[in-house]
Amino acid sequence: MMPSRRPRFYLLLALFLVLGAVRPGGAEEEAPLRRNAIVRVVEASRPAVVSIRTNQIVRRTWFDPVVWDFRSQLHERDGGLGSGVVFHPDGYVITNAHVISRASSILVTVGYAKTGGPEAVELKALPVAVDLNNDLAILRLLPSPEGEGPFPYLDLGHSHDVMLGEDVVALGHPFRLGLTVTRGIVSGLNRRLSLGSQVFDDFMQVDAAINPGNSGGPLLDVTGRWIGVNTAIYNRASLSAEGIGFAIPADRVRSLIARTFKQRVVVGRWIGLEFEEGAHGEAVVQTVYPKGPARDSGLQAGDVVRRVNAVPTPTLYDLRRALVARRLGPRVRLGIERGGRERDVEVPVEDLPTDRLAHTHLGFVAEDKEDFDGLIVTGVRPGGPGERLRLAPGDVVATLGRWRMRNTEDLLMFLQYVSPGDEVDVTVRRPQREAASGRILGFRELKGSLIAE
């Protein structure tokens, strides 16, 4: 007789039931096992990674057979795509300068932190600082109907201790695909690259894919520390390379913020102090402006600022971030160190006095434009020094005394040292316009002097 197959069947069934009872759980139970260091880094950092798109104004020219002549018209078209990182909860973003070059408008899609608000919202943004030589830019997000933040943000780390061969993660928004994560290692340090006329020896090279649209996104180590800003510079150079990407080191990004992220420039208020970076990166008072809020505070050049409103500021970068906080208040308490001793000093926070001082001392007010080098006169006080010099709205003030006037920041610094009765040499460029269209054909340079009041 043939042996019965039934015992074998029962044996297999019993094994199946036993193994089924002890097999690993479903996806939800397995999630903690799969949530490795890379997943945790992405989950923690992704809300602060933004997508950036720009529009550009271009001139379209065509031949019109009706009038037998060429016609032209300005219109707006899609510009570049890129990524960025929110580094301050009040809505300040770091990205690459080439992402926003030639942009007529900048639109940033951010993850939103308001309870009950949308998961993402597209906001307009304005450039706060652009450093073409370093291919870096700082943007300020403009308020929306949903509110003004706070926004999810990442703390900027350091890059001086990055190790060759360590694992890194790059985040960004390439090719309109949405948030994209790539992984690799640091494959080179201190790479020499050219950006325009500037040559740098400190780029980080990685083998994580960094494509157009990834530019401006963060490069992170496996602890989640933000160590660099991705840039697709190699792709823009039209060089074909596999497994080669570059990132701007975080220490260079810190330097840009420390140099340019000034309270008076960013939020239009100030405490009347100029700071510089000390030997160990600390914030040191460089200048106490004679007409600024801190003039009677007792602060001196060389004082080291250790705290802002009890918040530690170990570096100039930390000081800059603390002083632009939207909720800073009408007075700020600085914890300073002088000669090994520490004390607190209160300083008022005031609106910039540029227009008031210029109107009083020079008899005119002016403004600057981000894409224009010089001060554009917008008003002249009747009977004042500017009118006696025959200044007129539309004139471009190029120099005052020996100071070059690139923007209202230069004007404010100059006004700090002007007293009634001072003779001030002035160089003006007056626009020459076409009579019919009003189009500027060029500028005529005029020189003179005025007596400050």
Give me the percent of the chain exceeding a pLDDT of 90. Answer: 55
What DSSP state is assigned to residue 119?
A: S
Per-residue pLDDT tens over the stretch 272-283:
999 999 999 999
**305 in Cβ contact with 336 (< 8 Å):** yes
Q: Which residues contact 427 (CB under 8 A, 6 or more apart)?
A: 397, 398, 399, 445, 446, 447
Structural tokens at position 366: 């002016």
Range list of H helices, 23-100: 27-34, 37-45
**Which helix or strand (DSSP H or E) is residue 316 part of?**
helix 316-323
Query: What are the φ and ψ backbone dihedral angles of 118, each rounded to 5 degrees?
Result: -70, 155
Which residue did the predictor score with more confidence, 437 or 79? Answer: 437
Residue 54's nearest CA partner among 154, 144, 165, 139 is 139
Structural tokens at position 354: 């540029």
Pairing of strands 375-380, 283-288: unpaired
Q: Which residues contact 175 (CB under 8 A, 6 or more apart)?
A: 81, 211, 212, 213
Please confirm whether the linkage preceding 348 is cis (ω < 30° from 0). no
Q: What share of the chain is helix, strand, coil (3-state, %, to 5)?
A: 20, 40, 35
| Nearest-angstrom CA–CA distance, 411 and 239 | 44
From the number of C-beta atoms within 10 Å of its C-beta (0-12, 13-18, 19+), residue 391 rates as buried
- Say whether pLDDT at 445 is over 50: yes
**252 in Cβ contact with 241 (< 8 Å):** no
Per-residue pLDDT tens over the stretch 234-255:
555 444 456 688 899 999 999 9
| Nearest-angstrom CA–CA distance, 230 and 210 | 7
| Nearest-angstrom CA–CA distance, 211 and 202 | 20
**80 in Cβ contact with 169 (< 8 Å):** no
**442 in Cβ contact with 420 (< 8 Å):** no
The residues annotated with a catalytic role in the active site are: 98, 135, 215
Structural tokens at position 296: 């009677």
Task: Give residue 443's pLDDT.
Answer: 86
**Which helix or strand (DSSP H or E) is residue 377 part of?**
strand 375-380
The DSSP string of 329-340 is: -SEEEEEEEETT
The CA distances from residue 107 to 50, 121, 122, in Å, are 10, 10, 6
Structural tokens at position 93: 């973003």
| Nearest-angstrom CA–CA distance, 448 and 160 | 51
| Nearest-angstrom CA–CA distance, 90 and 111 | 13
The confidence band for 27, taking pLDDT boundaries of 50, 70 and 90, is low
Per-residue pLDDT tens over the stretch 278-331:
999 999 999 999 999 999 999 999 999 999 999 999 999 999 999 998 888 899
Task: Give residue 202's pLDDT.
Answer: 85
| Nearest-angstrom CA–CA distance, 165 and 206 | 9
Tell me which of 22-36, 139-153, 233-247 is least confident: 233-247
- Give the 3-state secondary structure of residue 372: coil
Q: Which residues contact 80 (CB under 8 A, 6 or more apart)?
A: 52, 53, 54, 98, 99, 100, 101, 103
Query: What value does the mean pLDDT of the chain take?
Result: 84
Per-residue pLDDT tens over the stretch 77-121:
566 688 999 999 999 999 998 888 878 889 998 875 444 445 678
The DSSP string of 139-198 is: EEEPPBTTB--PPP---B---TT--TT-EEEEEE-GGG--SEEEEEEEEEEEEEEEETTE
All domains of the chain, ordered by start, with CATH?
47-141 (2.40.10.10), 167-255 (2.40.10.10), 263-351 (2.30.42.10), 354-451 (2.30.42.10)
Task: Give residue 218's pLDDT.
Answer: 95
**319 in Cβ contact with 305 (< 8 Å):** yes
| Nearest-angstrom CA–CA distance, 301 and 290 | 12
Read off the pTM.
0.79
The confidence band for 388, taking pLDDT boundaries of 50, 70 and 90, is very high
